[in-house]
A and B are shown apart, each in its own frame.
Chain A
Amino acid sequence: MIRNGSQVTYETRGDTMVVRVGGEIDHHNAVTVRTGIDERLTAERPQKVMLELSAVDFMDSSGLGLIMGRYALVKQYGGSLAVLDPSPAVLKIIKLAGMERMVSILRTKVKK
């Protein structure tokens, strides 16, 4: 699904929902992305949410708000959220904010 420069797809496996975001996450795109994700999370309330960000080629601090907002939403209904395979651009800003101390960062892809 193309949404103003960001793409979001969903895959549910048991109690885990993988939310794959690609493209650019800025203040403009974040609004649409978070509205779509929140609709799915609120409807399905998956216990584990994996926010897969390997295909994000640009993210500014609006992305930090996007991650923290979803983290709070999932935690509110008793679930857990992790960031999966962040791209270098995403990881750089996550580390700058010290967010890895709060949100789990998981890696499944081997660095090339």
Chain B
Amino acid sequence: MRLSLPSLSVNEGMARSAVAAFCAQLNPTAVEIADIKCAVSEAVTNCIVHAYRDTVGEIAITVKLCEGRLIQIEIRDKGCGIEDVKQAREPLFTTDAEGERSGMGFTVMESFCDGVSVSSRVGRGTTVTLLKRLHK
């Protein structure tokens, strides 16, 4: 599944619901669907709040259903990029404290998925890949 949407906060709900609906064909449990929705919401919010801060750009989401009930979700932006990915992934780290961001976005993704990888280039954008393996 491929989905492209503008980085407007009103699209957060649609993005996670669309991914969840696509994954539903594998009959995941309610908890697995909730985990996927939460992780996607965090990644998409990062694009809106950080990658495209003060501007609007494209968020591209690709979802693949792989062998062994493995779901791969790629969320890509062409925004400002992350200078220090390791620091950004630390719990409670945020560059937007005034906006009441908790700094827990990557921690949520890591806890609710079976794998999270981040590839980023300053000025070019960021790709977050989430892996979720469903129970058999």
Contacts and interface: CB of A to CB of B under 8 A. Distances in A.
Interface of A: 4-5, 24, 26-28, 30-31, 34, 58-62, 64-66, 68-69, 89, 93, 96-97
Contact of A58 (B38, B49, B102, B107): B38
Interface in B39-92: 41-42, 45, 48-49
Contacts, number: 65
Interface of B: 9-10, 12-13, 16, 34, 37-38, 41-42, 45, 48-49, 99-102, 104-105, 107-108, 111
A65 B107 CA distance: 14
A61 B104 contact: yes
Contact of B104 (A4, A5, A64): A64
Interface of B is mostly: helix
A97 B104 contact: yes
A64 B2 CA distance: 30
A27 B13 contact: no
Task: Name the 10 nearest CB pairs between A and B, nearest first.
Answer: A65-B100, A28-B9, A64-B102, A61-B104, A60-B41, A27-B45, A65-B102, A69-B100, A61-B102, A26-B12
